Amino acid sequence: MSLLNQLFSRGFLGAKCKTCLNMAISRIKLLQNKRQLQLNQMRKEIAQFLQTGQESIARIRVEHVIREMNMQAAYDILELFCEFVYARVPILESQRDCPRELQEAIASIIFATPRCSDLPELLQVRSLFTSKYGKEFASAASELRPDSSVNRAIIEKLSIKAPSAEAKLSVLKEIAKEYHLEWDASTTEAEFCKKHEDLLDGSNKMRNGAADIQSPATATRASHDLSEASEGHPIIPSNQYSRNQSLESARVSVRNMSLVSPDESKLSVGNQNERIVDNAKMGTTSSGACDAMEMARIALASAERATAAARRASELVNVKSRVS
């Protein structure tokens, strides 16, 4: 009984495989005609772009043309493999393992099935091969393991990587020659040969120019810091030093204003603000306007905080005097 079931399943597998392969071959031929019409239309549009001087659009559209050409080449290879396996289905039925002469064709069909969504018949063919030769065989072909026998050409044609600049330039020249266009490819060739560093060259030049421009005051501060470092003293940046000085003056003003009345504290803070603004204006001539204004803003903020603290301190002194 088991022998009869085995013979029946073997015949059923062969018949179903033949049917699926025959339908896949027919669909590939139908899709090839449809894709050829689309490819001709795309090539015609690129020729119009080249003729009207819109080379930037043509450089983008040519990638779609190359992908369509690769898909057509892949479909041609798949059609040959399907016909090859279709003619040798009886050999597949008679042998338990995959024949050596059919390994490349079967592995290539398994590899191309998930990458060719327009051919649903290949899904059934793949499931039949998986059930016959095991999941390990199908996984090796899908993942391109070293022991798989997938066709090298079909791997390259179904690859998702972007086409090279040489391939794009070659197709553009071929389209221009096909439609008899007098097209100068020097601009496009220079654009394709341009590297990523060249595209960012403007910003690099700006950064290099800004680094080369150095004010005399900055050079003086740098030499002073170097001399301190040579003498063994720690180096403190000039802007940090100025910020520390302003904060220290704010703390001193808080301690002094805690002993005076609110009106006197307002006057002292106003005078201090005027001095800070005057110092900032004087600093613009030596260290640059940006650094001086930043220091002025920081000092004004600290002065405002000192004013608030002085008010609270004076109110606290008044309250204590009243209580006593």
Whole-model pTM: value is 0.57
3-state secondary structure of 144: coil
Q: What angle do CA 64, 68, 73 make, to 5 degrees?
A: 145
Q: What is the mean pLDDT of residues 192-210?
A: 56
Domain with 31, as residue range(s), is: 2-192
Instruction: Judge whether 204 lies within some domain.
Output: no
End-to-end CA distance of the chain: 116
- Given a cut of 70, whether residue 287 has pLDDT beyond it is no
pLDDT value of position 258: 44
- pLDDT tens digit sequence for 216-251: 445 455 455 544 444 444 444 444 555 555 555 545
Q: Tell me which residue of 128, 92, 93 sits closest to 110, measured CA to CA.
A: 128
User: In the chain, how many domains are there?
Assistant: 2
Contact 46, 65 (CB under 8 A): yes
Contacts 24+ apart (CB under 8 A), 117-120: 118/27, 118/31, 119/24, 119/27, 119/28, 119/31, 119/78
Q: Which residues of 136-170 are buried (b: 16+ CB within 10 A; e: fewer)?
A: ebbebbbeeeeebbbbeebeebbeeeebeeeebbe
Q: Tell me which residue of 76, 60, 63, 68 sits closest to 40, measured CA to CA.
A: 68
**For the chain, give me the number of helices (H) and strands (E)?**
15, 0
User: Which contiguous run of DSSP H or E holds residue 181?
Assistant: none
Instruction: Judge whether 214 lies within some domain.
Output: no
| Residue entry with tokens 């819109």 | 54
> Who has greater pLDDT, 8 or 35?
35
- Given a cut of 90, whether residue 112 has pLDDT beyond it is yes
Instruction: Judge whether 255 lies within some domain.
Output: yes
pLDDT value of position 272: 52
Q: Tell me which residue of 210, 190, 186, 208 sits closest to 199, measured CA to CA.
A: 190
pLDDT band at 307 (very low <50, low <70, confident <90, very high): confident
Q: Provide the 8-state DSSP code for 164.
A: P
| Residue where one domain finishes, among candidates 152, 174, 192 | 192
Contact 141, 148 (CB under 8 A): yes
- pLDDT tens digit sequence for 144-173: 998 888 999 999 999 988 899 899 999 999
Residue type, 80: L
CA distance 246 to 302: 8
Instruction: Judge whether 209 lies within some domain.
Output: no
78 lies in the same domain as 187: yes
296 lies in the same domain as 148: no
CA distance 177 to 169: 12
CA–CA distance from 47 to each of 37, 50, 76, 165, 302 (Å)? Answer: 16, 5, 26, 18, 68
Query: Is the sign of the CA dihedral 110, 111, 115, 118 positive or negative?
Result: negative
CB atoms within 10 A of CB 65: 22
- Given a cut of 80, whether residue 2 has pLDDT beyond it is no
265 lies in the same domain as 185: no
Instruction: Judge whether 206 lies within some domain.
Output: no
172 lies in the same domain as 231: no
CATH number for the domain that contains residue 177: 1.20.1260.60
265 lies in the same domain as 138: no
93 lies in the same domain as 188: yes
301 lies in the same domain as 229: yes
153 lies in the same domain as 53: yes
pLDDT band at 295 (very low <50, low <70, confident <90, very high): confident
CA distance 24 to 108: 14
pLDDT value of position 284: 44
> Who has greater pLDDT, 321 or 89?
89
Structure tokens at 311: 């008010």
Q: What is the mean pLDDT of residues 67-89?
A: 95
Instruction: Judge whether 188 lies within some domain.
Output: yes
319 lies in the same domain as 258: yes
Contact 85, 100 (CB under 8 A): no
CA distance 148 to 135: 13
CA distance 276 to 295: 9
Q: Provide the 8-state DSSP code for 116.
A: -
7 lies in the same domain as 48: yes
Q: What is the mean pLDDT of residues 269-294?
A: 55
